[in-house]
């Protein structure tokens, strides 16, 4: 009798690398159960699915549909994105130390026996360096690519979190592993900063852009900005406010409007108080003097609450919307937009269309891409992470809300968006290089 075996190829690699999981040695036609278990920030996450062995007694998860279990159909990495925490309420997917890999035990069982193997996912490639930044009033972490990626200079990207605050080290570590000088900059809910988003000065981010340029001296002077949710709103706002300092904008589930403090507000300021300051003055936001805005659709009813419903009421006042609109036409760089049709946090599809339409209207001279993911929700990250935890307690307000989306659709958005983000950046860097070369040639001709 053949011995059951399970293999993962590659067994150990970066988190965004797809794996081939194959079980061999089963009886043709028998049901084979394959499960996964991963320790994430001290909590165990798991999944399980059953498959029918083929005529050779094999189950290749990239070819075989799951007939029952944590996910359905064919998905090579379905065991990872369909994982759920054993302890309800756990959402943290990565270890506090992002240089520590995620270790997943893959277990296969059938009538003929059992087998195990280990799948290793890394956010940090060997040689990536991590440096805490606590200078000039900035709070963040700088990740630099390994020497194997070249001695530099490297293109740079500044990464901003949303209304949960903190420092987005996982995304920055992965960017560094892919050859970028990646600066995860916090602006609240981090050591030495406010616990709230209210009254955040945009000059803080300008200082961050200047510090990053001075520190890493990026390739072709290329500094992109990437943010999700409130961070997506923020990167559009920064691109429009400091256009000469931004080389590309990556806006994940963004807003087209300036928003109030909302769920991340300082209680003393209130959720209808200002979020962003410029030159010491609050920027007009969509809730100000809005004749239709109402929190009732969000506040009432049982949890989980859908924040997007309140945002839709505010969109009914066209005058208030016009006053709060981010002037994306001032952006002088390529723009990449990701949105989701079932976004429970706010109507990112509507917002992204507003941004895209305005850039088309003004014949934006740089590339504009917009990807709107059907049935996906607010949490768009990068590939091969769990997508099942859709309802959550907001990190600041603690209100139980839903980000929306279906796990399989969220997994598709994670994968597709990361592939397009990388290609978008490669194209933007090439265009910046070409622009520099043309400018240099022009200067030589003039001299």
pLDDT for residue 437: 83
Is 140 found in the same domain as 107? no
pLDDT for 204-250, tens place per residue?
Answer: 999 999 999 999 999 999 999 999 999 999 999 999 999 999 999 99
Q: Is residue 439 part of a domain?
A: no
Backbone angles phi, psi at 355, to 5 degrees: -65, -50
Domain end marker among 61, 96, 122: 122
Instruction: Give the pLDDT band (50/70/90) at residue 447.
Output: low
223/94 same-domain check:
no
The domain tally of the chain equals 2
Last residue of a domain, one of 122, 150, 174: 122
Instruction: Please report the pLDDT score of residue 435 as a whole number.
Output: 86
Domain with 363, as residue range(s), is: 129-428
Whether residues 66 and 11 share a domain: the answer is: yes
User: Which CATH number do you get for residue 341?
Assistant: 3.40.50.1820
CATH assignment at residue 25: 2.60.40.2240
Helices (H), 134-254: 169-177, 203-216, 230-241
Q: Please tell me the pTM assigned to this model.
A: 0.96
Q: Which of 81, 98, 122 is the last residue of a domain?
A: 122
CA of 80: how far to CAs of 74, 172, 368, 405, 409, in Å? Answer: 13, 21, 32, 17, 14
**Does residue 445 sit within a domain?**
no
Residue 1 in this model has a pLDDT that exceeds 70: no
Residue 440 maps to a domain: no
Q: How far apart are CA 386 and CA 45, in angstroms?
A: 9
How many whole angstroms separate alpha carbon 94 and alpha carbon 144? Answer: 19
* Alpha-carbon gap, residue 63 to 53, rounded angstroms: 11
434 Cβ partners below 8 Å, 6+ apart?
Answer: none
Cα angle 407, 412, 417 (rounded to 5 degrees) comes to 125
Residue 441 lies in a domain: no
Q: Is residue 106 part of a domain?
A: yes
Tens digit of pLDDT for each residue in 74-93? 999 999 999 999 998 889 99
Residues 407, 277 share a domain: yes
Same domain, 163 and 21: no
Residue 151: band (very low, low, confident or very high) from pLDDT cuts 50, 70, 90 = confident
Average pLDDT score over the chain:
96
Q: Are residues 287 and 190 in the same domain?
A: yes
Same domain, 101 and 11: yes
Question: Does residue 393 sit in the same domain as residue 318?
Answer: yes
pLDDT in tens, 130-141: 999 999 999 999
Do residues 159 and 175 lie in contact, with contact meaning Cβ atoms separated by under 8 Å?
A: yes
Nearest CA to 371 among 363, 384, 383, 380?
Answer: 380
The residues near 430 (Cβ < 8 Å, ≥ 6 apart) are none
With respect to residue 13, please indicate whether it lies within any of the assigned structural domains: yes
Q: Is residue 447 domain-resident?
A: no
Q: Which residue carries 């240089």 as its tokens?
A: 99
CB atoms within 10 A of CB 214: 9
In contact, 274 and 198? CB cutoff 8 Å: yes
Same domain, 149 and 108: no
- Does one domain contain both 261 and 356? yes
Using pLDDT thresholds of 50, 70 and 90, give the confidence band for residue 55. Answer: very high
Question: 393 and 331: one domain?
Answer: yes
Backbone φ, ψ for residue 147 (5° rounding): -60, -30
The reply to whether 438 falls in a domain is: no
């Amino acid at each position: 009798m053949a011995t059951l075996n399970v293999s993962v190829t590659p067994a150990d690699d970066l988190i965004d690398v797809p794996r081939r999981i194959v079980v061999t040695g089963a009886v043709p036609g028998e049901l084979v159960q394959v499960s996964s278990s991963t320790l994430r920030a001290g909590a165990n996450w798991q999944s399980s699915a059953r498959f029918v062995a083929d005529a050779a007694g094999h189950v290749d998860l990239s070819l075989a549909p799951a007939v029952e279990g944590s996910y359905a159909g064919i998905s090579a990495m379905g065991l990872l994105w369909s994982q759920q925490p054993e302890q309800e309420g756990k959402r943290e997917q990565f270890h506090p130390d992002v240089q520590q890999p995620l270790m997943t035990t893959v277990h296969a069982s059938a009538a003929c026996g059992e087998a195990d193997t280990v799948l290793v996912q890394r956010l940090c490639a060997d040689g990536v360096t991590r440096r805490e930044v606590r200078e000039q009033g900035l709070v963040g972490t700088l990740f630099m690519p390994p020497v194997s990626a070249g001695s530099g200079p490297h293109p740079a990207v500044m990464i901003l979190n949303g209304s949960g605050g903190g420092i987005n080290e996982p995304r920055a570590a992965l960017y560094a592993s892919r050859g970028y000088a990646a600066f995860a900059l916090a602006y609240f809910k981090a050591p030495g900063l406010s616990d709230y988003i209210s009254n955040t000065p945009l000059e803080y981010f300008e200082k961050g852009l200047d510090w990053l340029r001075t520190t890493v001296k990026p390739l072709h002077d290329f500094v992109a900005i990437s943010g999700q949710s409130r961070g997506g709103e923020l990167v559009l706002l920064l691109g429009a406010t400091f256009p000469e300092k931004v080389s590309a904008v990556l806006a994940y589930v963004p807003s087209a409007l300036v928003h109030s403090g909302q769920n991340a507000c300082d209680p003393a300021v209130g959720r209808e108080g200002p979020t962003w300051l410029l030159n010491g003055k609050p920027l007009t936001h969509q809730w100000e003097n809005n004749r239709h805005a109402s929190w009732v659709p969000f506040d009432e009813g049982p949890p989980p609450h859908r924040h997007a419903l309140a945002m839709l009421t505010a969109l009914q006042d066209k005058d208030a919307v016009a006053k709060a609109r981010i002037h994306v036409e001032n952006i002088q760089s390529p723009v990449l937009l990701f949105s989701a049709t079932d976004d429970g946090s706010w109507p990112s599809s509507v917002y992204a269309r507003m941004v895209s339409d305005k850039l088309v209207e003004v014949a934006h001279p740089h590339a504009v891409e917009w990807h709107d993911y059907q049935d996906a929700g607010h949490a768009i990250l990068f590939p091969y992470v769990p997508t099942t935890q859709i309802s959550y307690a907001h990190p600041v307000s603690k209100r139980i809300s839903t980000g929306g989306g279906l796990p399989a659709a969220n997994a598709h958005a994670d994968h597709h968006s990361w592939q397009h983000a990388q290609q978008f950046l490669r194209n933007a860097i090439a265009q910046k290089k070409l622009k520099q070369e043309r400018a240099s040639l022009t200067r030589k001709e003039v001299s």
